[in-house]
Amino acid sequence: MNKKLIAIIAILMSALLLLTACGSSGNNTPAAKEENKEASGKKESVVIYTAAEDERIAYLQEALDKKFPDVSIVIQSLGTGQLLSRLQAEGKNSDCDIFYDLEVVNAEIILNASPDLFADLSEYDFSVYDASVTGYTDRHHKYAVNGKTAGAFLVNTKMLEEKGLAVPETYEDMLKEEYKGLISMPSPKSSGTGYSYYNGMITMLGEEEGMKYFETLNPNIKEYTTSGSAPAKAAVRGDVAIAYGLLWQCVNYANENEGLKVVVPSQGLAFDLFTMGMISGHETKQAVKDVFTYLYNELNKPQCAKFNPDKIYADMPAAEIKNYPASYEEITMKGLFDFQYKQNLLDQWKY
């Protein structure tokens, strides 16, 4: 073989390698990644980012694995703030396909900065929702509500009895000096549960009196936790006597442990909304679309009945939690979908 022919073959091989490399580098979209995975015989995958509690994640994982045995479904647990920051930082190239239990105000923060980050859900039936949770649907269909979480107090009655103290029944009772160092609540800056308590008091009392409320409450707080569920767990252990937490968790803990009581103030309960949706572009993956559609149309309702049965659906299933309140007053929460209002309140939080 002469030198000229060898040179020609070398040039052709180099060109072929270059074309192959270029084709690979342009094939990096979520849909293309999935096509490559299918072509290689690997299992399809769906990644869900969520701020849901461990017991809810376990329930969802089991149901999804049963429904989609041929799909690798990975549920990543993140804190409320972590979920927000990860979605903001990763954008459309996120490993996340579906988000679940994203606090509604955080969803609005994301959409304000990146209006097209979430896939449009207009094809889904929003008439299934109760009117009390659809204050955003006249503006967009970029997410759907997957839960409402009311807040209440879990009281360790044994601890109070040992100290000769009565069980507090109202928000005002929590301010009494006798409860100094006995209460725990989540920090509004890191927890949706904590923020809903904060916003609820501001809504009910007005901004000036609401701020005074938390100033007076502060000496009674043993700890501001980063997690919304941590205070209730502390009350179960006996680390604190009074804990502000999610109503459904408080009821479950009281059902499972003697010496615990759930206090539902008659003035009304503060609440928060949480959302679910898909990252734009990822809905083109069939597995992602199928998993989300199942979540939306079938799985979320029984999830609500089992864990957070506060009304979001027009036809809300009955609560499966023993001793769950049949009804309670709700505080009409101000600025529920307004991230600027939330930021203003958080800027004033000093504890």
Hey, where are the domains in the chain? Answer: 32-146+273-306, 149-271+329-348
So what's the pLDDT on residue 71? 97
So what's the pLDDT on residue 43? 81
- Rounded Cα–Cα distance for residues 45 and 98 (Å): 11
Backbone angles phi, psi at 264, to 5 degrees: -115, 95
pLDDT in tens, 312-340: 999 999 999 999 998 899 999 999 999 99
So what's the pLDDT on residue 192? 85
Domain 32-146+273-306 matches domain 149-271+329-348 at the CATH topology level = yes
So what's the pLDDT on residue 21? 44
In the chain, % helix, strand, coil (3-state, to 5) comes to 50, 20, 35
So what's the pLDDT on residue 42? 54
In the chain, which stretches have pLDDT less than 50?
3, 5-6, 8-9, 11-12, 14-29, 32-33, 36-40
So what's the pLDDT on residue 16? 46
pLDDT in tens, 269-290: 999 999 999 999 999 999 999 9
Q: Are 309 and 252 in contact (CB under 8 A)?
A: no
Q: Are 146 and 276 in contact (CB under 8 A)?
A: yes
Could you tell me the pTM of the whole model? 0.80
So what's the pLDDT on residue 15? 47
Backbone dihedral region of 50: left (phi > 0), alpha (psi from -120 to 50 degrees) or beta?
Answer: beta
So what's the pLDDT on residue 81? 84
* Residue among 113, 94, 103 at smallest CA distance from 190: 103
So what's the pLDDT on residue 228? 87
So what's the pLDDT on residue 1? 53
* Residue among 66, 54, 99 at smallest CA distance from 307: 54
What mean pLDDT is reported for the chain?
90
**Angle at which helices 80-90 and 104-113 cross, to 10°:** 20
The two structure tokens encoding residue 92: 């459309």
Q: Does domain 32-146+273-306 have CATH number 3.40.190.10?
A: yes
So what's the pLDDT on residue 2? 53
So what's the pLDDT on residue 161? 97
How far is CA 35 from its chain centroid?
30
Q: Does domain 149-271+329-348 have CATH number 3.40.190.10?
A: yes
